[in-house]
Chains A and B, each alone.
Chain A
Amino acid sequence: MLLALPVLPARAQSDAHAGVTAQHLTVRLLVPPAQLWPNQNFTAGLDFKMEDGWHVYWTNAGDSGEPPSIRWTLPAGVTAGPLQFPAPKRLPLGPLMDFGYEDEVVFPIPMEVAKDANLEAPLLGLSAHVTWLVCREVCIPGKADLVLWRQAVPPRPSLPANAQDQQLIQRFSALVPKPLPASDSVHFQSTAKGFTLDVQTGTKERSAQFFPLDETIVANAAPQPATPQSNGVQLALTKDQNLQSPPRQLNGVVELADGSAWVIHATPAALTTAKGFPSSPAVGLSGLASAVGFAFLGGILLNLMPCVFPVLFIKGLSLVQSSQQERAQLRAHGWVYTLGILVSFLSVVAVLLALRAAGRQLGWGFQFQSPIFLAAMAMLLFFLGLALAGQFEIGLSLTSAGGSLAQKHGYTGSFFTGVLAMVVATPCTAPFMGAAIGYALAHSAFVSFAIFTALGLGLALPYLALAYFPAWARILPKPGAWMEILKQAVAVPIFATVIWLVWVFTQIAGTNALIGLLGAFLLLAVAGWVLGRWPGKSSAAIAAAAVLIVAIAVQVWAVNTFGEQHTSTVALAVNADAPGAWQPYSPDYVAKQRAQGRAVFVDFTASWCLSCQVNERVILDSDAVKQQLQASGVALVRADWTNQDADITQALAALGRSGVPTYAIYPADPSAAPHVLPEVLTKSVVIDALNSLAASHQQSASLSRPTN
């Protein structure tokens, strides 16, 4: 079964033993020069000609198989480089995927005769021990000893090289992948399933294939959906099931639609803001200073967002309470509040950056993709609501103004009010903030921190201003019984927020996990009752704490046991059949629509994002906008970011955004940049954008006509 063909030296200049016919293939050694002389460089070749359906393998054979190998025995002064492998083909085999060649392949081999080579013998034997594995349904290993004899000549050759062999080697040399030009770039990002590989060649690439050079990194058999980009192509790769951590480099060969193949060593993208997508006019951020400015402005505006307002209410209350205090104390409260905001903002950014460094695909608001975080938030606000409604008194007694107790607890209270303000502000990316955060996360840690500091300062500014100019607070009425009533009234928006959080939680974790959360609420109410019934008793506090711990444990258990993923996305897909309905997002779908000449309107949304819900209900679902959307013929796509989704995170990054809401219109011309709409939509904004899209389409159509 094994082939062992001892080949004896034969007549000079005869290539009779340079090739053998083995099972299912013929293998030949090609050495085009007829003579060898000092200081000579040439390319030899190892040629396999297979029977129909049989194949030999690439350097990484894939799921099975082995590449051919060669071991030379050469005269002194003659050296051979390694086999060069032309770009392979994907060879599917049931559930497996091999990489190799069918029909014929030549592996070029660079050869060199040294300058000082002492070619004494008149005839030089170039002999090679070659092994291979040739497979169809079955695999057959083979080996052969191939010898070629060449005349040694002084400096100049007197005989021409074998042109036929030379051409054959050249043909396959052209197929050997080349290093990527310096002007091109490749990066990869880790996703939940594997990697996305961005190949940027400067021109649009229709398709591409990736062949990994490293084994056990990429799942060989997985399809590699390609998304053409205006300046290259993006491939979605699936990782090997046993890959534990993302590689430092992704090494392989990328073959483009034109057949050209390139060796790549892709490095992880430092969250590129997808080069080639010029920043949209709506974003217009040019430098750090303006980004910081926008962040500061966005922070101030955050105070007006519906989710932050309840917190401001609480803060307003404590303002009234402290309006009789010393000025210095007021200021201190203001700064502690600011500190609370900054510390919580920056710690979330630190976590975000650390996770990004570890290769997770996250953006702003990612906390709301974790059911545990959502449950914790809902429980915290529910407990706070109980306290405000009067079931029990929490440490910061709002009615006892002045007093040493209030002072002592007051600073802690101010700090945590700041923390609370940041926490509830997170899902409301106010105008400008999305752009600023996208900018921050796309740059260095220093820039991120600078921007989030500005954001926090903006959020804290109104209260801080009141602390410094207490005269402004004088317009507020004198403390009295009305404060108790107001405090209880504030419980209403707090409970409303709880309802929203529970709804989001159900979207992510499923209805079964909801039982756990509601059970935890019941336990929280019991704890609150204990605290209210026996106020100030340490035994009561301990009992309440015990109940609280049980509540949290119940919740974590419920999420882990009943937690379910992707409910909302699947539900969206189920509803997507109706005509004019929003389709779920996939890069493929968007690319396909654009390829068919249809512009695409993408609504990046999440159920935990209130601004998104408002925009959708009030603007996008309004009759006027709906009619316009239908009339313009754009494809409607909803990118649901409620759960983590690497594709959507990347699409957002490509738009220079990092969070939702984001609205983008991708023109039908795939090379045209997408148009990003402002985060706060109005009907006219959407309608104008659709009209200008139609106008530019007509314009480009009329422009292109004369050239046809």
Chain B
Amino acid sequence: MHRLSLAVFSAAMLVCTLSAPAQRVGDPAPNFTGTDSHGQTHKLSEYRGKYVVLEWTNSDCPFTKKHYASGNMQSLQKEWTSKGVIWLTVLSSAPGNDGYKTASEENAYLQQVHAAPTAVLLDPSGGIGHEYAAKTTPDMYVIDPSGKLIYSGAIDDRHTTELADVQGAKNYVSAALAESLAGQPVAVSYTRPYGCSVKYQGAD
């Protein structure tokens, strides 16, 4: 009986570690290790003590294009990294799928659009994406210095591909960072992300 309970207990623990539970706002953000487009390794836990923004991207997706063609994403990246925020763009498109890029292709693209994140993590296996249950491009996450997820969802409140809609949109990421930096609770901490689906392996 004892042995059985122990076996069941360990089996339960194994199931817990294998399944990737979706991330909940207010919970600790799951740690991950990712390799960026320059071959450097990034661990979320290394950035404990700093704000971290995760941005899911796909340069072929018209919703992502809206924010890069308008310069909106780049200016957000510049604004917040200059304030000490770590900005990690994550590319979870699988090889062969829309938006997939090798490291050198990605670097060329970053230069072309003048993107300014801290780093772009290449996640062709979708490991980081599944860990966070990232749904769309863009899908945005904000993690506070204690490692807690404080925002998850859309980049702003205009669910369109119109460049003009960047003007006057309420940007949820900036709002969450500003509120949290001011010591206030995040007013809108969860929204439905909008955009193209993340082009995970097996999603075609």
Closest partner residue, chain B, to A135 (CB atom):
B196
Q: A93-B203, A94-B197, A96-B198 are in contact. Are A570 and B62 (CB under 8 A)?
A: no
Q: Flag if B194 contacts A95 (CB, 8 Å).
A: no
Q: Mark A63-103, 1 if CB is under 8 A from B, else 0.
A: 11110000000000000000000000000011110100000
Closest partner residue, chain A, to B62 (CB atom):
A141
How many residues of chain B have a CB within 8 Å of chain A? 42
Of A2, A64, A241, the most chain B CB neighbours within 10 A belong to: A64
A139 CB contacts on chain B under 8 angstroms: 61-63, 196-197
- Judge if A397 is at the interface, Cβ distance under 8 Å: no
CA distance A485 to B38 in the complex (A): 83
Q: Flag if B161 contacts A241 (CB, 8 Å).
A: no
A512 CB contacts on chain B under 8 angstroms: 9
Q: Flag if A241 contacts B12 (CB, 8 Å).
A: no
- Judge if B39 is at the interface, Cβ distance under 8 Å: no
B4 CB contacts on chain A under 8 angstroms: 571, 574
- Judge if A510 is at the interface, Cβ distance under 8 Å: yes
Q: Flag if B61 contacts A63 (CB, 8 Å).
A: no
A141 CB contacts on chain B under 8 angstroms: 62, 160-161
- Judge if B6 is at the interface, Cβ distance under 8 Å: yes
- Judge if B136 is at the interface, Cβ distance under 8 Å: yes
Q: Mark B11-46, 1 if CB is under 8 A from A, else 0.
A: 110000000011111000000000000000000000
A138, A215, A510, A567: the one within 8 Å of B196 (CB): A138
Q: A141-B161, A241-B22 are in contact. Are A65 and B197 (CB under 8 A)?
A: yes
Q: Flag if A64 contacts B160 (CB, 8 Å).
A: no
Interface of B is mostly: loop
Q: Mark B61-99, 1 if CB is under 8 A from A, else 0.
A: 111010000000000000000000000000000000110
B194 CB contacts on chain A under 8 angstroms: 64, 66
A241 CB contacts on chain B under 8 angstroms: 21-24, 133
Q: Flag if A137 contacts B9 (CB, 8 Å).
A: no
Interface of A is mostly: loop
- Judge if A399 is at the interface, Cβ distance under 8 Å: no
Q: A2-B161, A242-B25 are in contact. Are A570 and B98 (CB under 8 A)?
A: no
B6 CB contacts on chain A under 8 angstroms: 511
Q: Flag if A570 contacts B8 (CB, 8 Å).
A: yes
Cβ distance A192 to chain B, nearest Cβ, rounded Å:
14
B202 CB contacts on chain A under 8 angstroms: 94
A112-157 with Cβ < 8 A to chain B: 131, 133, 135, 137-141
B119-165 with Cβ < 8 A to chain A: 130, 133, 135-136, 152, 159-161
CA distance A140 to B23 in the complex (A): 29
Q: Flag if A574 contacts B23 (CB, 8 Å).
A: no
CA distance A566 to B191 in the complex (A): 33
- Judge if A578 is at the interface, Cβ distance under 8 Å: no
A2 CB contacts on chain B under 8 angstroms: 62, 161
B152-204 with Cβ < 8 A to chain A: 152, 159-161, 190-192, 194-204
Closest partner residue, chain B, to A96 (CB atom):
B197
A1, A63, A510: the one within 8 Å of B62 (CB): A1
Q: A241-B133, A242-B190 are in contact. Are A63 and B161 (CB under 8 A)?
A: no
Q: A64-B195, A242-B25 are in contact. List 6 more A-B contacts (CB 8 A).
A: A64-B196, A64-B197, A65-B196, A95-B133, A139-B62, A571-B8
Closest 8 CB pairs of A and B: A94-B203, A64-B197, A241-B22, A215-B192, A141-B161, A139-B196, A137-B204, A138-B98
Give me the interface of B with A, judged by CB distance under 8 Å: 2, 4-6, 8-9, 11-12, 21-25, 60-63, 65, 97-98, 130, 133, 135-136, 152, 159-161, 190-192, 194-204
Q: Could you show 27 A-B contacts with beta carbons less than 8 Å apart?
A: A63-B135, A63-B136, A63-B197, A64-B135, A95-B130, A95-B133, A131-B160, A135-B196, A137-B199, A137-B203, A138-B61, A139-B196, A139-B197, A141-B161, A215-B192, A216-B192, A241-B133, A242-B25, A242-B152, A242-B190, A510-B9, A511-B2, A511-B5, A512-B9, A564-B12, A565-B12, A571-B5
